[in-house]
């Protein structure tokens, strides 16, 4: 079906790219697979995104924006009376208890930056924004960077191993890192 005026087409292509990565992984991402998922002509995907890196960047920006909105809400809700290690254990627990497929998708797009140099700055921007948000709250960007790295690594390890989540291990480990 031809659509002469289709202002939502670019967004549908981005949404389709995210869906394709979620279903098939980065290896399944192509202009053809995205066009089929978005129900648009192949030429539309290459018109809006000349390269797959451009499409990956758009997809990662969208996923990062959604993640950062949730992270900002978490930071805003931090209770100064609760040890930071306890709060981080809660964040990790909530993330792992949530939509696993979504978390895997987020990491798949994030880790695409390892092979796609053009995507690296977008992944780095997300990490830097997390550090900035948490740093404002804890008053120290170095501590914030360590906490973000710790939580990020811990989430990735749990996704990879399927090991049961133990909040005490997170609390004790982070307390050791924070001193």
Nearest alpha-carbon partner for 116 in 48, 49, 26, 28: 26
User: Rounded to 5 degrees, what are φ and ψ at 77?
Assistant: -90, 0
pLDDT tens per residue, range 72-116: 999 999 999 999 999 999 999 999 998 989 999 999 999 999 999
Q: What is the pTM of this model?
A: 0.89
- Give the pLDDT of residue 4: 66
User: Which residues make Cβ contacts (< 8 Å) with residue 61, sequence separation at least 6?
Assistant: 122
Task: Report DSSP state, residue 83.
Answer: -
Residue 164's pLDDT is what?
87
Give residue-wise pLDDT tens across range 26-38.
999 999 999 999 9
Show the domains of the chain with their CATH numbers. 1-50 (1.10.10.60), 51-178 (1.10.357.10)
């Amino acid at each position: 079906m031809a659509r002469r005026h289709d202002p939502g087409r670019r967004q549908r292509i981005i949404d389709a790219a995210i869906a394709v990565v979620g279903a098939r992984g980065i290896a399944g991402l192509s202009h053809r697979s995205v066009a089929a998922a978005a129900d648009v002509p192949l030429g539309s995907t290459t018109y809006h995104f000349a390269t797959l890196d451009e499409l990956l960047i758009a997809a990662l920006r969208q996923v990062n924006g959604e993640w950062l909105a949730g992270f900002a809400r978490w930071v805003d809700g931090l209770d100064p009376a609760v040890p930071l290690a306890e709060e981080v254990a809660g964040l990790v627990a909530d993330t792992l208890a949530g939509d696993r497929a979504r978390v895997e998708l987020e990491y798949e797009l994030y880790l695409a930056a390892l092979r796609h140099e053009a995507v690296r700055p977008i992944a780095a921007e997300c990490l830097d924004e997390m550090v900035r948000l948490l740093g404002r709250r804890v008053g120290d960007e170095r501590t914030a960077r360590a906490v973000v790295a710790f939580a990020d690594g811990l989430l990735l390890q749990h996704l990879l191993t399927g090991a049961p989540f133990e909040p005490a291990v997170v609390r004790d480990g982070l307390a050791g890192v924070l001193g």
